[in-house]
Amino acid sequence: RRSLLTIVQLQSLIDERNHELNRWKFKSLNDTRRISHTLNNLDTHSALVMALSQSDAPWLHHILHTLHKNGASVQTILRRIEDAITNGYRPHSYNQDELDLALLVYRVGGGTLLSALNQRLCLPS
């Protein structure tokens, strides 16, 4: 039947097939990207589960609760747990004297001085 088509009709048919082929190629690329993203998320979740199963620290619940409450992503939670395991976990529970000192430093020297003292003396900022 194609032998009865004119050159213009054949060219139109080829263009339609090329358009359809390109549409399928784009769909394939999008599916590949979506699968890759899903596999990456699965790897991250698996790493988090492994970190949680290997860590038997009492502060783990506190880190998870705080980060989850603040809306942190799984990657951020995993990074914080890894940092806490490698560098040690040092929670900051400030007493009233430290808070008063931080307020005094802020009022006298401003935010830059308070930030510097936070880095050096672990004052609340």
pLDDT of residue 8: 93
pLDDT of residue 57: 66
Q: At what angle do helices 60-69 and 74-87 cross, to 10 degrees?
A: 150
How far apart are the C-alpha atoms of 121 and 118, rounded to whole Å? 5
How far apart are the C-alpha atoms of 81 and 102, rounded to whole Å? 28
Helices (H), the chain: 7-54, 60-69, 74-87, 96-121
Cβ atoms of 59 and 91 within 8 Å: the answer is yes
- Over the stretch 63-93, which tens digit does the pLDDT of each residue have? 787 888 888 888 888 888 778 777 776 666 6
The candidate with the shortest Cα–Cα distance to 45, out of 81, 87, 84, 83, is 81
- Phi then psi for residue 106, to 5 deg, are -65, -45
What is the residue whose two structure tokens read 């690329």?
Answer: 29
- Over the stretch 10-66, which tens digit does the pLDDT of each residue have? 999 999 999 999 999 999 999 999 999 999 989 888 887 777 777 666 677 777 878
